[in-house]
Structure 1
Amino acid sequence: MILVTGSVVAREDSFDEVCRLSLEHVQRSRNEPGCISHAVHIDCEDPLRLVFVEQWADRAALMAHFAVPASRQFVRALQDLASAATTIELYDATRLDKL
């Protein structure tokens, strides 16, 4: 499984638009093949920062997600609305059912 975390810090004047675009992106992405989960959260320590947490079945599914034109458009739109550079981190993860 591939775990993806990412974030964007919106400007005060663009926060509502960043939220709208982020929710659209998350809802669309959940229907893509190989998407296990895809969510966006507001950071309680920085309410202008949105944090994305995604789980993908494998690297091929994630690469297909990155190739979707709407995904690329989403990233470009965020760059224009953010107060700082967006972040993204990818992890190869194995789920542990029991400790």
Structure 2
Amino acid sequence: MIIVTGGVTTTPDKHDRILGLALEHAKRARAAADCLGHNVHVDCENAARLVFLEYWSDLAAMKAHIALPENMDFIDQMRELSPEHVELAIFESHPWPVS
């Protein structure tokens, strides 16, 4: 499984716009067959920061998602609207037996 974490900082005048775009993006991603989960959260310690958590079946599925024009447009809009660098990190996860 692939886990993607990300973050974007908002400003009072752009917060609603950025949040709306983020929610649309998460909903669109969850409709993908290989998306195991995609959420956006408000940081409890900094309400101007949105945090993304994504779960994908594999790297190919995540790359296919990012490559879609509407997702590239989302990334471009986040870069344009946010006053700070947009964060993104990708991790590979392996099952761990609990028993």
Q: Normalising by structure 2, what TM-score?
A: 0.95
Paired letter, 2:24: E
| C-alpha distance in 2 between matches for 1:22 and 1:4 | 14
Instruction: Name the residue aligned to 1:21.
Output: 21
Paired letter, 2:18: V
| C-alpha distance in 2 between matches for 1:9 and 1:95 | 32
**2:47 is aligned with 1:40:** no
| C-alpha distance in 1 between matches for 2:6 and 2:58 | 18
- Provide the aligned length of Structure 1 versus Structure 2: 99
Instruction: Name the residue aligned to 1:88.
Output: 88
| C-alpha distance in 1 between matches for 2:55 and 2:47 | 24
| CA RMSD across the alignment | 1.1
| C-alpha distance in 2 between matches for 1:40 and 1:26 | 7
| C-alpha distance in 2 between matches for 1:84 and 1:30 | 26
Q: What is the SS of the residue equivalent to 2:13?
A: helix
1:11 to partner: Cα distance: 1.6
| C-alpha distance in 1 between matches for 2:28 and 2:49 | 21
Q: What is the SS of the residue equivalent to 1:20?
A: helix
Q: Normalising by structure 1, what TM-score?
A: 0.95
Instruction: Name the residue aligned to 1:69.
Output: 69
| C-alpha distance in 1 between matches for 2:16 and 2:76 | 17
Residues 43-62 of structure 1 aligned to structure 2 (within 5 Å): 43-62=43-62
- Which segments of structure 1 move beyond 6 Å, counting only runs of 4 or more? none
1:97 to partner: Cα distance: 5.0
Instruction: Name the residue aligned to 1:2.
Output: 2
1:74 to partner: Cα distance: 0.3
